[in-house]
Structure 1
Amino acid sequence: MNVMQQGIRASITQLIDLTCWNKWNYQGRRAILSARFYARGRKSSSSRWLRRQRDDPYVKKAMELGYRSRSAFKLLEMDKKFKIFKKGDIVIDIGASPGSWTQVALDKTGKRGLVMAVDIRGMKSVGEAMIFDHMDFGVPSTHTFIQNMLVNSKADVIMSDMSPNVAGSPKFDHQAIMTQALCALKFTFANLVYNGTFICKMFHGSDEGLFKDMLKQNYHRINEFKPAASRSESNEFYYICRHRKYYRKPSKEERENADLIWQYPI
Structure 2
Amino acid sequence: MGKCSKDKRDLYYRKAKEQGWRARSAFKLLQLDSEFHLFEGVSRVVDLCAAPGSWSQVLSRSLPEGSATIVSVDLQPIAPLPGVITLQADITHPATLTSILKLFGGEPADIVCSDGAPDVTGLHDLDEYIQGQLLLSALTLATNLLRPGGKFVAKIFRGRDVDLLYSQLSLLFDKVTCAKPRSSRASSLESFIVCEGYRPRRGWLPESLTLAKTKLPLDLESTAAGSMDRERAIAPFIACGDLSDFDADATYQIEKGVGSISLEPVQKPTAPPYKTALEKKRNGTLR
| Smaller-chain TM-score bracket | 0.7 to 0.9
Find the residue that maps to 2:122 and give its secondary structure.
coil
Does residue 214 in structure 1 map to residue 168 in structure 2? yes
Among candidates 75, 78, 81, match of residue 120 of structure 1: 75
Among candidates 141, 144, 152, match of residue 190 of structure 1: 144
- Indicate if the aligned counterparts of 1:87 and 1:110 stay in contact, CA closer than 8 A: no
Q: CA deviation at 1:140?
A: 2.9
Q: Where does 1:94-133 land on structure 2 (aligned, <5 Å)?
A: 94-111=48-65, 112-133=67-88
TM-score for both structures, normalised by structure 1? 0.73
Q: CA deviation at 1:248?
A: 4.7
Q: CA deviation at 1:205?
A: 2.3
- Indicate if the aligned counterparts of 1:91 and 1:158 stay in contact, CA closer than 8 A: yes
| Residue-by-residue CA offset, 1:66-100 (whole Å, 9 max, x unaligned) | 11111000000000001100255211001111111
Using CA pairs under 8 Å that are at least 6 residues apart, name the structure with larger relative contact order, 1 or 2.
2
Which sections of structure 2, spanning at least 5 residues, go unmatched? 219-287
CA RMSD of aligned residues (A): 2.6
Find the residue that maps to 1:226 and give its secondary structure.
strand
* Whole-angstrom distance in 1 between the partners of 2:184 and 2:95: 32
Does residue 250 in structure 1 map to residue 203 in structure 2? yes
For 2:131, the aligned partner's letter is I
Find the residue that maps to 2:171 and give its secondary structure.
helix
Larger helix percent: 1
Q: CA deviation at 1:240?
A: 0.6
- Indicate if the aligned counterparts of 2:23 and 2:54 stay in contact, CA closer than 8 A: yes
Q: Decide whether aligned partners of structure 1 residues 250 and 114 sit closer, same or farther in structure 2, where only a CA change above 3 A counts.
A: same
* Whole-angstrom distance in 1 between the partners of 2:103 and 2:81: 18
The number of residues matched between the two structures is 213
2:262 matched to which residue of 1? none
* Whole-angstrom distance in 2 between the partners of 1:248 and 1:168: 37
* Whole-angstrom distance in 2 between the partners of 1:262 and 1:66: 43
TM-score for both structures, normalised by structure 2? 0.68
Does residue 90 in structure 1 map to residue 90 in structure 2? no
* Whole-angstrom distance in 1 between the partners of 2:217 and 2:155: 22
* Whole-angstrom distance in 1 between the partners of 2:170 and 2:187: 28
1:32 matched to which residue of 2? none
For 2:40, the aligned partner's letter is K
* Whole-angstrom distance in 2 between the partners of 1:262 and 1:90: 28
* Whole-angstrom distance in 1 between the partners of 2:177 and 2:42: 24
Larger Rg: 2
Q: CA deviation at 1:260?
A: 4.5
- Indicate if the aligned counterparts of 1:87 and 1:108 stay in contact, CA closer than 8 A: no
Does residue 75 in structure 1 map to residue 29 in structure 2? yes
- Indicate if the aligned counterparts of 2:175 and 2:197 stay in contact, CA closer than 8 A: yes
Find the residue that maps to 2:181 and give its secondary structure.
coil
